Structure 1
């Protein structure tokens, strides 16, 4: 007898082949039968008119901490994501010395925008080794989760405070390599690192991995190649804009040295900068020639990130802006009121050195979000350009005046500059490249600034009822089988007999994501942005119903996926 039978579904199996109407039976956590099924089942449902797809795989999340207080990885699970990849960008919670827990929490709060109160109150912090960290999650999560080992954690564990600014001795490098081996023996998926100039710790210093030289990175990558089913994830300064020649060579060499795929985040596609995509994909071309594979992650939807002059955000990363926006609020307000200071900030923002952050400099296109003063009543939802015209001000001066009235608490939403037909046509073309993969949600990070987790349902809705840049079968493949194959997931990513029953049932006429709304449901009453899943009837993880009509069921059927056992090695060529 089957555990559950889904009847008359439009099955889109993840391989890209045409949809077909079929019944799908689940038994003992796996897909037992596909076709016209007459076998008895404990429960059954009619899925006529609904699409049944494999569970979606999100290749870039930061759920490392959130899974402790939110085993459902919301809102990803409601949006059909059944497997998440975490431990990215060089940031993990293990290995960890007890005396470094405070530093790690403050670093994660700064660099990944996590709530410090939630980190302090929501996770147990009882582990030391990476295996202990994985064991702490085993049996209590609703999604499948795989974890990379973060370079910053390795360095801090071995070098202590000297990890910031220091270089390891031969013995210390050997210890780091040994720790990485131990972590991968315990099931870590591989190694992640960052060299990005935007990543600083809670003290404002460049994070530990940014001080690593190529020989250290290569030694750690070599260790990755000694374990089954492993990967590398790397961030360099040029990821957000354009790689330097040395970065292209480094990414290719790391992958070729390990003999493993390397992915990076995120490929920004904008028709106004047509040279960016071919430049970034040179890393993939160079890697293939060297015997490796470098894969670019890119988002298939626009996931705006809000800003604020009162708290750390992307505006702080514009060259020349950090010293002003890092001042105490009263002094910050005083400096911003000076027209000469504002002019200097604009000069920096529009210079070549600002790189991709120039996208944020058209302040007239900003939309006012939440406000906190009587003077700003009625401004929420309005565009700064219109307000500035009414007041006879320049847009940036107008924006500063609005924020000052709220003591810089005003929420600002920059309107995307790359939402034009030419940029969407370029995206559709780029998605067809063999070394481009959809993903990069950052789910679990920057919780009060952005909500990238719903990209799966929003993308499908756009494919079915919007731009239609990709057909349904191909869109599902891009969200399921493609990432499953990159990470070597064993028997996941497709609707196939014998595969794990990770499934999403949705209404093709309704599938979409609701608007992002601010909720206060983190430990310590901290805020985050959330988004409802529209049109998702149900989600199964390992054959167990985890979501029904946008609500979690309370079941925790997810597994900690471990390298070797749950992932296999993928050829780089």
Structure 2
């Protein structure tokens, strides 16, 4: 891809208050909830700004692709409320201050406002992230600020992995109306086992449209594979009863997870849930992806069930014993559903649905656990060539021109005279994802999941070659996209497919 949008899900690293403890809080929060290595955030991010304008100027010093950023609710709340951002309802004066800060951030080029209400989003202390403590009054006031700025939109995470509660559908609708902008929610993950959830979530767009608003789903490009560790704790802490244990410092967490009685309680609690989160409790089906110790390398690729059978242990005991032996760093992958033929058919239908946009890469976040960063390659390989869910031309249109029109990007998203030359040259007969593996190339030597892009020959951004035959040229021709200058307002009454 040649253009990216950051700051989604309520998480941006600007604005800052200027107090060192606020930057520290955001670093630790992002490390926990977004799977960003703390050592990389400390070593690789200067944290030298306070305003959103200063942050954009820092990014503009050198970027290979075009990049635009939403203003995250949790950063706004922390900058204005400090420690009160957790556990407190904002006062009228604090809401006004947040609105003023958002207004200044959008004036300097922020592309819109993002927030999260998801129960899966907790900070480094295991507390709900700041935005989850907001009132509807606060949300609507912030959404209304967006209306004042050209070329902006809203983004949020609502009920993750479940049917939307009517109150949250109404909340999304009212935010769209307050902003007079579309609201893009993350993430629709088609799964034949949970067709009712899928239909309920997509119906949020119909509910909003019937009231004059626009709600758009961001649909995942594949069955999402999660690589989890008991050290990071993300997703594991969403299981019933696991949150308090996973919020403990690692030594205390190991002590708790070593206790047979606590293991029984945790296993019982996890089995009480239904839906995708409840599926995690099928311990036997988890795969051992990567081990930390050399003597355990032979276990890679095996299921926890196979290991448990060989050791004559209960599956959860076998998994936790291995994890504890490796200081909780062992990487596991639960066997989540969604890779079956019916789920792929649902996914293809969602890609073509005007209530949804293909995306949800999470590139830059969940670096050690989610493989959706290769979403465009997955669509072209599996969706087009292997499963024939889309014709090539339609797939390219729905990943380039359609989102550019939906979010109001000026002169990007298609090959046309007068447009910027943002071009990916690929071979449709060979494009594919290479094997998933860990690369330790982040600041401070931290690792990330990675796979090579097969069949992608050249990438040009603004007419300059940045990648050729899998190798970076070192060129940094990207632009920091700013609202108004690089985007135009898309009226919420306009159809998604033809927004211009």
1:153 maps to 75
**In the superposition, relative to structure 1, how do residues 87 and 334 fare at CA in structure 2: closer, same or farther (>3 Å)?**
closer
Work out the CA distance in 2 between the residues paired with 1:88 and 1:371. Answer: 31
Work out the CA distance in 2 between the residues paired with 1:476 and 1:497. Answer: 18
CA offsets, 1:254-280, max 9 Å, x none?
011211010111112111111011111
Preserved contact between residue 139 and residue 557 of structure 1 (Cα < 8 Å): no
- Which one has more relative contact order, counting CA pairs under 8 Å at least 6 apart? 1
Preserved contact between residue 539 and residue 547 of structure 1 (Cα < 8 Å): yes
Please list, as runs of the form range in 1=range in 2, the aligned pairs for 1:318-337 lying within 5 A after superposition. Answer: 318-327=239-248, 329=250, 332-333=253-254, 335-337=256-258
Work out the CA distance in 1 between the residues paired with 2:112 and 2:266. Answer: 41
Q: Does 1:162 align with 2:113?
A: no
1:227 maps to 149
Q: Does 1:195 align with 2:117?
A: yes
Work out the CA distance in 2 between the residues paired with 1:374 and 1:144. Answer: 41
**In the superposition, relative to structure 1, how do residues 364 and 257 fare at CA in structure 2: closer, same or farther (>3 Å)?**
same
Preserved contact between residue 425 and residue 458 of structure 2 (Cα < 8 Å): yes
Preserved contact between residue 192 and residue 232 of structure 1 (Cα < 8 Å): yes
**In the superposition, relative to structure 1, how do residues 372 and 122 fare at CA in structure 2: closer, same or farther (>3 Å)?**
closer
In the TM superposition, what is the alpha-carbon distance from 1:182 to its structure 2 partner? 1.1
Larger Rg: 1
**In the superposition, relative to structure 1, how do residues 355 and 462 fare at CA in structure 2: closer, same or farther (>3 Å)?**
closer
2:32 maps to 110
In the TM superposition, what is the alpha-carbon distance from 1:522 to its structure 2 partner? 1.3
Work out the CA distance in 1 between the residues paired with 2:259 and 2:87. Answer: 36
Q: Which has the higher strand share?
A: 1
Q: Does 1:516 align with 2:439?
A: no
In the TM superposition, what is the alpha-carbon distance from 1:318 to its structure 2 partner? 0.8
Shifted more, 506-515 versus 380-389: the winner is 380-389
Shifted more, 171-180 versus 82-91: the winner is 171-180
**In the superposition, relative to structure 1, how do residues 334 and 146 fare at CA in structure 2: closer, same or farther (>3 Å)?**
closer
Shifted more, 168-177 versus 439-448: the winner is 168-177
1:86 maps to 6
Work out the CA distance in 1 between the residues paired with 2:415 and 2:112. Answer: 27
2:408 to 472, 477, 488: 488
**In the superposition, relative to structure 1, how do residues 283 and 342 fare at CA in structure 2: closer, same or farther (>3 Å)?**
same
**In the superposition, relative to structure 1, how do residues 115 and 336 fare at CA in structure 2: closer, same or farther (>3 Å)?**
closer
Work out the CA distance in 2 between the residues paired with 1:329 and 1:103. Answer: 18
Shifted more, 166-175 versus 387-396: the winner is 387-396
Q: Does 1:544 align with 2:464?
A: yes
How many residue pairs were aligned?
A: 491
TM-score, reference length from structure 2: 0.94
Shifted more, 418-427 versus 245-254: the winner is 418-427
Work out the CA distance in 2 between the residues paired with 1:185 and 1:194. Answer: 23
2:279 maps to 359
The secondary structure found in structure 2 opposite 1:538 is strand
1:314 to 218, 224, 235: 235
Shifted more, 341-350 versus 91-100: the winner is 341-350
Preserved contact between residue 221 and residue 360 of structure 2 (Cα < 8 Å): no
1:186 maps to 108
2:52 maps to 130
Work out the CA distance in 1 between the residues paired with 2:94 and 2:231. Answer: 40
Work out the CA distance in 1 between the residues paired with 2:175 and 2:317. Answer: 46
1:244 maps to 165
Work out the CA distance in 2 between the residues paired with 1:123 and 1:140. Answer: 13
Structure 1: runs of 5+ lacking an equivalent: 1-80
Work out the CA distance in 2 between the residues paired with 1:107 and 1:395. Answer: 31
Work out the CA distance in 2 between the residues paired with 1:178 and 1:210. Answer: 20
The secondary structure found in structure 2 opposite 1:274 is helix
Q: Which has the higher helix share?
A: 2
1:478 to 392, 398, 403: 398
Preserved contact between residue 71 and residue 112 of structure 2 (Cα < 8 Å): yes
